[in-house]
Amino acid sequence: MTQSTATRVRTRFAPSPTGFLHLGGARTALYAWAYAKHHQGDFVLRIEDTDLERSTPEAVQAILDGMAWLGLTPDEGPFYQMQHMARYKTVITQMLADGTAYHCYSTPEEVNAMREHARTLGLKPKYDGTWRPEPGKTLPAVPADKTPVVRFKNPLSGATQWHDMVKGPISINNEELDDLIIARPDGTPTYNFCVVVDDWDMNITHVLRGDDHVNNTPRQINILKALNAPLPKYGHLPMILGPDGEKLSKRHGAVSVMAYEQAGYLAEAMINYLARLGWSHGDEEIFTREQLVQWFDANSLSKSASQWDPQKLNWVNAHYIKAADNQWLADAISPRLAALGADPIKVDLPQVVELLKDRCETLVQLTEASLLFCGASVAPDPELLAKHINDDVRRAVADFTQGATVVQWQRQAIGALIKSVLVQHQMKMPQLAIPLRLIVAGTTQTPAIDAVLEIMGRETVLEKLRSF
């Protein structure tokens, strides 16, 4: 099982297209990608679409969209298992000829009866090897009315062992394993067999996958040995738990990664967060994709389940929004604004973003906040007007309006004008700032009022003040 130091590292991500790309799958893909990139190797994308009843083109596209959004571009692929049927059947034919596989005519009902009988004897419930050829054994007469399956001739003794990249040494007694069906009665190969042939043909050297595949690994190793094929190194990743410590559900995270794109999360933030969800590099919380590749070491993968924390994800996303280029953010929220009926070109959107981004955790929040400047006007609540505006305030607003017609329309100058009005009328900042917010924005809470007025523009501000 030891890989030659000269062997080029090749990892793969091999989802079944029976649904969207969820968080667990995305993390697996990320780790496989990062491991390959760290070792200057190749990352392969393989679509395991042999489940014809559950696999759909929509699910395939959802997986590809999720990978594209996260920037996990494969070096090879996507490859599709259904396009390799002839190859699988050729290998099965060879295994039958070599005696490492055999035809089995036992019906599913008969196999179930075998397993129930084993249970009554306190034994491992499995197929009893009725059709398994052995030296000196006489097999039953081949029934004329039955089409056989093909079973792999699993070793009857010893143990299958491997050093898991995550879990450490693992050993499974071969006597606990069934003679696995590798081809159905109609000749179509089964999942575990297709995986083996694909990993062999694609020269996969390292397999990182969820720990729900641990039980598949000894079966796949034994088939590879029977084929005299090289063995990859395997690493099985613990599951991701929800905030409540239970298996991740749709209520908290078990949704398509593209739902997070729609919810306004940045791909780089999601990469950062997913990477830390089962891997660490010292105390580093925030790091670039390039740093992840540089630092990624399978020895630092956690053996314990990780817990999904939406608040932590929001914190990470907020960091990336604050650090992002204003023009890039403006381009990102512009179609979101347009979809809400706003006119993003009516204002200097990068300037708006600069003012608002420190207050927002997602692009959705940034979009909604930006409506203040390019969305429909919001009429102030009459009760709030009555609460915050009296005759003294009206006189102060009138003086501010007069000054606003001639002042240089820049934040600093607008701020100076506000202060001079406050001094003139012996008022404190909230006594003028809140009424101004109500009049021009329809709300009592905005970013700094001088900055808001600057972005809104002199004409818009004066129009609202004069109509007050």
Domain for residue 233, yes or no? no
340 shares its domain with 416: no
**123-170 pLDDT tens trace:** 889 999 999 999 999 999 999 889 999 999 999 999 999 999 999 999
Q: Would you list the DSSP string of 169-185? A: EEEEEGGGS---EEE-T
Under-50 pLDDT residues of the chain: 1-5
Output the pLDDT for position 245.
84
- Cβ atoms of 465 and 404 closer than 8 Å: yes
Q: Residue 409 belongs to a domain with what CATH number?
A: 1.10.10.350
Looking at residue 54, its amino acid is R
Output the pLDDT for position 378.
86
Domain for residue 120, yes or no? no
Choosing from 339, 372, 405, the residue where a domain stops is 372
Domain for residue 359, yes or no? yes
361 shares its domain with 395: no
391 shares its domain with 436: yes
Peptide bond into 185 cis (omega under 30): no
**446-462 pLDDT tens trace:** 999 999 999 999 999 99
Instruction: Kindly give the interhelix angle for 57-70 and 23-38, rounded to the nearest 10 degrees.
Output: 50
402 shares its domain with 454: yes
Output the pLDDT for position 252.
59
Domain for residue 356, yes or no? yes
Domain for residue 162, yes or no? no
Query: Which positions ≥6 away from 228 have C-beta within 8 Å?
Result: none
Domain for residue 441, yes or no? yes
367 shares its domain with 391: no
390 shares its domain with 331: no
Number of domain units in the chain: 2
For 343, the domain range is 325-372
Choosing from 372, 393, 408, the residue where a domain stops is 372
pTM of this structure:
0.91
